[in-house]
Amino acid sequence: MEALRDRLPKHQMPTTRTYTIRHIDREAEQIWVDFVTHGDEGLAGPWAERAQPGDPISFFGPGSGYSPRPDADWHLLVSDEAALQAIARSVESMSLDASGLVLVEVRSEEERQQIDAPAGVEVRWLYRGADFTPETTVLADEIRRTELPPGDVQAFVHGERAQMKEIRRHLVKERGLSRKELSISAYWAYGRKEQDFQAEKKTPAGQIDDD
């Protein structure tokens, strides 16, 4: 991408999508990436649905900043399918004596995946029972009715943009979570292509942190 950036005008640059490395198997020389498929719209989802062994793919990166803090009293991790791999990696990198709560919303029980969490970390699966829409999602309601333990919490919350805005407001304003201990971002936006919503993130209306 860097080499292309030097050569091509902006409008000719390839369109990119952002994904999480779930696992690297050095012996098998594999990088595991899990794509949510969501119908015919978009580039990456439909590509993954049709992908065959041997299909080429180019990538650059990685870029990441978050890692669970070993001295936090407890951890709160919240996601939908798009951030499930990021959540799983984070939980699996925690120390064995870590405490926490993981809330993951997926379509149905079939979408449930193995997450090797420390004994003190509860992994709670939430089932929408339908494709994601602002009406079918249950994540924000579940957080509202969940009792959160007191103490020094580190939170990692990622998913659909409007949900992230709502959850952020609730956690900061109603639960008093410290902004600096809250890693929250939109991984995708309902009804918008990635390049559009990433551009909107640079405007006030597109920001999670709107207050």
Ligand X SMILES: Cc1cc2nc3c(=O)[nH]c(=O)nc-3n(C[C@H](O)[C@H](O)[C@H](O)COP(=O)(O)OP(=O)(O)OC[C@H]3O[C@@H](n4cnc5c(N)ncnc54)[C@H](O)[C@@H]3O)c2cc1C
Residue ranges binding ligand X (CB under 6 A): 17-20, 34-36, 38, 41-45, 81-82, 85, 132, 187-194
The CB-of-205 to ligand X minimum distance in angstroms stands at: 16
The CB-of-42 to ligand X minimum distance in angstroms stands at: 2
The residue at minimum Cβ distance from ligand X is 42
Chain position carrying tokens 């919350």: 157
Q: Tell me which residue of 156, 108, 110, 165 sits closest to 136, measured CA to CA.
A: 108
Report yes or no: 125 and 112 within 8 Å, Cβ to Cβ.
yes
DSSP 144-205: HHS---SS-EEEEEEEEHHHHHHHHHIIIIIS---GGGEEEEEEEBTTB-HHHHHHHTTSGG
Give the Cα separation of 182 and 178 in Å (integer).
7
Residue type, 105: E
Q: Which residue number, 74 or 189, has a Cβ lying nearer to ligand X?
A: 189
Please give the distance of CA 111 from its chain centroid, rounded to a whole number.
Answer: 15
DSSP 28-61: TTEEE--PPP-SSSSSHHHHHHH--TT-------
The CB-of-160 to ligand X minimum distance in angstroms stands at: 7
The CB-of-76 to ligand X minimum distance in angstroms stands at: 18
The number of C-alpha atoms within 13 Å of 128 and in the hemisphere containing its C-beta is 19
The CB-of-151 to ligand X minimum distance in angstroms stands at: 28
The CB-of-147 to ligand X minimum distance in angstroms stands at: 29
Give the Cα separation of 191 and 45 in Å (integer).
14
Q: Which residue number, 49 or 210, has a Cβ lying nearer to ligand X?
A: 49
Q: Which residue number, 137 or 154, has a Cβ lying nearer to ligand X?
A: 137
